[in-house]
A and B are shown apart, each in its own frame.
Chain A
């Protein structure tokens, strides 16, 4: 191609491809938006969604396996063991550290900890990001002595 034909083909191509692109964007101008109205309409999370944990206290045997499996050590468990009776006094997960990797749920022998569908747990304080899953209990003096708090 000579310089002249290159020049004119450049001018033509510049205009033509711009028009091709503009036809595409114009088509989408009249198409339905794909966005979700997030805070108004909550998205439906799939069943396997890895959100804030769901903890079933009655099933928990206080074995610390989940806390050990956690790569970032964000689970803190307190247990009072009296013979066969098990009281979970503390089950805190620090969501500043948690990376929602699902590794705590897999080894649980009692299947008491799962990843849940919730994901909105922002907080204005650091304290607020540590969620306490165990129901609060008043402990007797004797129980306080044998309470074991483990963090990995």
Chain B
């Protein structure tokens, strides 16, 4: 058949399939767009495309007085707005030389840790959905609702708090708040055990998530990955412990890191997820200590009034948000408005590591890996 001189064009060939995942996809956690190159179910490359939620927050800051930017920080990492409030306020206080009173500092830590729990519960729930279990999400939200009710009692808002202000906090605790908080602290550890039984140690879930998206400590550090994602790779680094701010030096807590004792390698998706479950416990511990230690006193520094840092001062303050190291860099020119506010968003660095860790994984793993990075697009795009 194959006579010499005749070339045969083979019209059967395999090709890479380029799939556009997002920005409207159920499990990209917002408006992330990922361009996937796949070979059947195997993912060859993934390129995250960001910017669908860009709102010029940094530029807006340059046109507002210092205090007015606080509500905008809520809308960066909208899942843990308190952490963003705290980061910004600490940065401004640093350059303006304001010291918040002790009670305010304790209240700040209480609300940020509550918010960290709420944020990790959301991460837990959505990770369940990413892997196909829908019920843990609702259970996580049930407890998250208790936290949101507490925060609503305290500051009147459920998501965009702007409770932490420059020089202190918005208001003192309302009556009944501490009792409800104690009640929450009491019941919550039992709920964590339940989550672990339901999802964390479910064999299907473990088989789905162990050993995928392995992020080595070197890669993690090279990409600037922080927070639970870095700790999942076994690097014990936490701003709350390494460069303690506020009243963290007075509090005792562990910094959980990734472990290999449950079968998976360090830095896989399961470890990143498990760090969050561990941090739920640690945050509950911190809350307990804060409630006990919180002194009486004012909640706002005296004579804050109009914040006007001296000219040519600049300051960078980093704090440990639920997603990692959140940095605020504020430059002042002596007027009431900052010259520049730069935000170092943890999710931005965390998502940038995605192409490194999804290569060679299955399509379903891509979803599981994005979920394990726990990104918030509001913070990536700002």
Contacts and interface: CB of A to CB of B under 8 A. Distances in A.
Are any A and B Cβ atoms less than 8 Å apart in their complex? yes
Interface of A: 10, 13-14, 16-18, 20-21, 24-25, 28, 34, 45-50, 69, 71, 99-103, 115
B157 interface: yes
Contacts of A21: 197-199, 202
A46 B198 contact: no
Contacts of B197: 20-21, 24
Contact of A71 (B71, B156, B157, B199): B71
Contacts of B174: 46-48
A48 B155 contact: yes
Contacts, number: 71
Interface residues of B, number: 32
Given A17-B202, A17-B204, A103-B67, 19 more contacts: A14-B207, A17-B203, A18-B202, A18-B203, A20-B198, A21-B199, A34-B145, A46-B156, A48-B152, A48-B153, A48-B154, A48-B174, A50-B156, A71-B69, A71-B72, A100-B157, A101-B70, A101-B71, A102-B162
A31 to B, nearest CB: 10
25 contacts: A14-B203, A17-B203, A18-B202, A18-B203, A24-B194, A25-B135, A34-B145, A46-B152, A48-B154, A48-B155, A48-B171, A49-B152, A50-B155, A50-B156, A69-B68, A71-B68, A71-B69, A99-B71, A99-B75, A99-B160, A100-B157, A100-B160, A102-B162, A103-B162, A115-B156
B64 interface: yes
A71 B62 CA distance: 12
B223 interface: no
A93 to B, nearest CB: 15
Contacts of B204: 14, 17-18
A45 B203 CA distance: 42
Interface string B202-213: 111001000000
B64 A71 contact: yes
A14 B208 CA distance: 12
Contacts of B72: 71
A27 B194 CA distance: 11
Contacts of B155: 48, 50
The 5 closest A-B pairs by CB, nearest first: A101-B71, A50-B156, A71-B68, A48-B156, A14-B203
A25 B171 CA distance: 40
Contacts of B162: 101-103
Contacts of A99: 71, 75, 160
Contacts of A71: 64, 68-69, 71-72
Given A69-B68, A103-B67, A34 B156 contact: no
A103 B68 contact: yes
A73 B178 CA distance: 36
Interface in B178-201: 194, 197-199, 201
A102 B171 CA distance: 11
B175 to A, nearest CB: 10
A52 to B, nearest CB: 12
A83 to B, nearest CB: 30
A102 B201 contact: no
A69 B66 CA distance: 11
A102 B203 contact: no
Contacts of A69: 68
B198 A25 contact: yes
Contacts of B170: 102
